Amino acid sequence: MPELSSDRMTHLELSHHRYLLEATSFMKTSTTKNSQNRLSLTLGALSAVSLAALSQPAAAVSLGGYTWNPANAVTSAVQVPVSQNIGIISSPSALDAANTVAGAMGVSGNRLVELGNSTGTARSIVQLDWGGALLNNRSGNDLVVYESGNSGAPEAFAVAVRRQGQTDFSNFLYRFSSSYNAETDLFATAFDLSDFGLGEGDAIDAIQIANLITTDRVTGADGQGFLGGQYAPTTGQQGGGAYSSGRFDADIAYAVGLHNVVRPVSQTPSQSVPEPTSILGLLAFAGIGVNSVRKRKQQQKA
């Protein structure tokens, strides 16, 4: 069980705050008319959800040499252009379908997103984010992308990132996949935000993933690096060297931060995050509200 990081605590606290706001809003609009039962039910659900968020953070998953929390998977996607095929992820039980890239696109059923075409003449780009949350640059790798394929046959894709508060994306960076998981048929490729020029603690709010096309060249003599260079991309150790025709339609399954995404300060409520004791206080206060309604009704009957 990993130690709770400060980021995760922030996430939990924000979740609590959201529940608190919802409960407060409900109470403001529910002091009259037949609201007693609804209020009780809502507070019961509120209490249960808050306790669940406190005691059951999503379990960490280890896949292809990387360990991450599904809560840090991308949550929404835009395709540019919208013309890609949708395949099926092998052994999908290893991944939560709702957190896949296809799931972020609103596609159900453990699908993957095939970019480009096999002959490498068409480029597709899928844009992904965390619903406004940020991924910070920390020491080492920050992001891992899983691509579906056969052993020894990775397909070429590259990643661009958008810094917090900016509108343009970086250049696309192509990296070798570092592992292949035979159970899931997934290649894992990790990215370090430092490689995009971010300093420690700098943050991104979105990424783009693009398939490589046959004419792409990279900046590194070893066959990886930013697109726009002079060297042909190579597969790295997971493949046979050069990319052959038919290996340009990457099948993107999953993209997840390797540490907890965080809400930007500008999106957090201005008031301080309530302590759990405040939530108990709210529940007690709500209980008084219910009693008031009950007493009022009894008085009306009398």
The site for Ca ion (CB under 5 A) is made up of: 137, 142, 149, 155, 192-194, 251
Report the residue number whose CB is nearest to Ca ion: 149
CA dist., res. 278 & res. 282, Å (int): 6
Minimum CB separation from Ca ion for residue 55, in Å? 30
Residue nearer to Ca ion on the CB measure, 128 or 282:
128
**Closer residue to Ca ion (CB): 112 or 286:** 112
- Least CB distance from residue 122 to Ca ion, whole Å? 15
The nearer residue to Ca ion, 87 or 220, going by C-beta atoms, is 87
Give whichever of 149 and 229 is closer to Ca ion, judged by the CB atom: 149
- Residue 90 CA, chain-centre distance (Å), reads 20
138/263 with CB nearer Ca ion: 138
For residue 81, whether the previous peptide bond is cis, meaning omega lies within 30 degrees of 0, is yes
CA separation, residue 274 to residues 120, 146, 268, 280 (Å): 53, 37, 12, 10
Provide the minimum distance between the beta carbon of 250 and Ca ion in the complex, in angstroms, as a whole number.
6
One-character DSSP codes across 3-58: PPPHHHHHHHHHHHHHHHHHHHHHHHT-SSSS-HHHHHHHHHHHHHHHHHHHH-PP
Contact 188, 154 (CB under 8 A): no
CA 174 to chain centre: 21
CB 275 to Ca ion: min, Å: 32
Instruction: Report, in Å, the least distance between residue 193 CB and Ca ion.
Output: 5
Beta bridge partners of 231: 218
